[in-house]
Chain A
């Protein structure tokens, strides 16, 4: 218990003193995961709408697969992206491995199933008559989708929060394809893992608390948007 308490005090100390290294790591975490979640949602919201509004063979199966992928282990994504980006891999010439870009790609893949699946279920939660009402009032297909997304905004924002949460909290993928390089690809979770193995428990706990604080700030911000 003493360690947690010490860690808590240390966290406050590191935050208040704006410790440059900690700030840099936290900033990078926020940047990488925020970018990944944002880019993924730019792709997933329209794709989820497409899946929801079209009837095709295997739709149910596709949704089942998407939902199964909610629980894909981060290390499996890490492995997949590693193979893809490694020097001998199909995208090896891009030389993305062990860069923040690679981490963003990994996290985008990681959160895609969550964003797709939760957005589809958010859209299914909207009464069918909303669609007919919008169309009958002269909305184009795109305007109709926007109205339905707007009606589903609480559930859609919840999906974004879930996606961001999954991205900022994962460590396996970031470690495998980022490499935990100090000052370049080190983020909060990889730093916690390293500090713990070094026995620096106070710093590890402090970083954990900082990560949760970041998540809290993002949640509050998104909730503000949702309530508008």
Chain B
């Protein structure tokens, strides 16, 4: 039996539909990441799972119990979970008292509280700050208090809403490390929301992609990234080359695709005439100054239209008769002198093309 089960859930605020037809099952000990852009409904979904709100329609089951029962049942179930809000409030009291309060509310005895709080302080690395007022902590430290406060009750389900939003990179990796440690040490069931695709991959066993209130794809942590099932998911996971096309030939799975006059080759089972989106991740495109002979089936000459630096990487837009985006290292960009107006050859393998049928998209 799944620990958390959501069936046909819809949620509306007034006229606005926030969540549509959500169905999720989370097994005990599993880590599920809900990824999606800001405003997709991730926070609302977590609030519904934590019983802070009741869904407009549909059911949420916790360990087999329908949670829409009485207030008393809801409180009891809520006490078996813990939720770290995106912007958690630390209470205006000492770090120790902040962490102790969730235990106190559950009627845990004083000596047991002392022992549990001290050990969790050790884990989150805040023992030295025990007696400091939590309001004086930095953002990353306050987030660690918030996580400690949730984990100290040893919840059956831990809900995390954007645990690293608004944190600097150092604090982010520290919090991620802490979360993986919790996963290892307590094997807690976790449902976390994040807009950071790679964070979801690093921490989760499964990923659900939530866009515009709908779960468009759910699968293991690589699936959405490597084989998005719709255009929206492909866009969200960073596939920058999405071309409208139609299959023009299919020889035992080796297909040619007409994308507005140009023809690319790919591997697919779709029949001739099928309208599709051809997706290529920008990091799978290689650039060269001359047409080199290689095993890659697709090579196009084009002119660079835009160059943007993204830290160690450089994003290059090329006009090959169709728009193409490539991601290369900054060093390559410098050595090949990739600048606006220059001619280059863009190459990608037939196996690097992911095909999405247009039928899926209309559903």
Q: Which A residues lie at the B interface, using CB under 8 A? A: 127, 129-130, 132-133, 135-140, 143, 147, 150-151
Contact = CB atoms under 8 A, between A and B. Distances in A.
B167 to A, nearest CB: 17
B156 to A, nearest CB: 12
A147 B101 contact: yes
B92 A151 contact: yes
Contact of A138 (B78, B89, B91, B146): B78
A133 B88 contact: yes
Closest 6 CB pairs of A and B: A136-B83, A138-B79, A137-B102, A130-B89, A129-B89, A133-B89
10 contacts: A133-B85, A133-B91, A135-B78, A136-B50, A136-B78, A138-B153, A139-B101, A140-B105, A143-B105, A150-B92
B113 interface: no
A137 B149 contact: yes
A136 to B, nearest CB: 4
Nearest to B83: A136
Given A132-B85, A151-B91, A138 B52 contact: no
B71 to A, nearest CB: 8
Interface centre among A130, A136, A143 (most CB of B within 10 A): A136
A147 B85 contact: no
Contacts of A136: 50, 52, 78, 82-85, 159
B362 to A, nearest CB: 38
B123 interface: no
Say whether chain B's binding surface is mostly helix, strand, loop, or mixed. loop
B87 interface: yes
B75 interface: yes
A138 B83 CA distance: 9
Given A143-B105, A151-B92, A137 B150 contact: yes
B262 interface: no
Interface string B65-100: 000000000010011001111011101110000000
Say whether chain A's binding surface is mostly helix, strand, loop, or mixed. helix
Nearest to B104: A143
B291 interface: no
A191 to B, nearest CB: 42
A169 B298 CA distance: 90
Contacts of B114: none
Contacts of A147: 91, 101
B105 A138 contact: yes
B106 interface: yes
Contacts of B159: 136
Interface in B134-191: 146, 149-150, 153, 159
B198 to A, nearest CB: 26
A210 B165 CA distance: 57
A132 B105 contact: no
B79 to A, nearest CB: 4
Nearest to A136: B83
Contacts of A140: 75, 105
A151 B75 CA distance: 22
Given A135-B78, A137-B82, A138-B79, A127 B89 contact: yes
A133 to B, nearest CB: 4
Nearest to B76: A138
A137 B97 CA distance: 13
Contacts of A143: 105
A139 B79 CA distance: 8
Contact of B52 (A127, A130, A135, A150): A135
Contacts of B87: 129
A137 B158 CA distance: 11
Interface centre among A138, A143, A150 (most CB of B within 10 A): A138
A138 B101 CA distance: 9
B50 to A, nearest CB: 6
A138 B88 contact: no
Contacts of B91: 130, 133, 147, 150-151
Contact of A139 (B50, B105, B146, B150): B105
A130 B50 CA distance: 16
Contacts of A139: 101-102, 105
A134 to B, nearest CB: 8
A86 to B, nearest CB: 47
A16 B79 CA distance: 59
Contacts of B150: 137
A129 B106 contact: no
Contacts of B85: 129, 132-133, 136
A139 B107 CA distance: 11
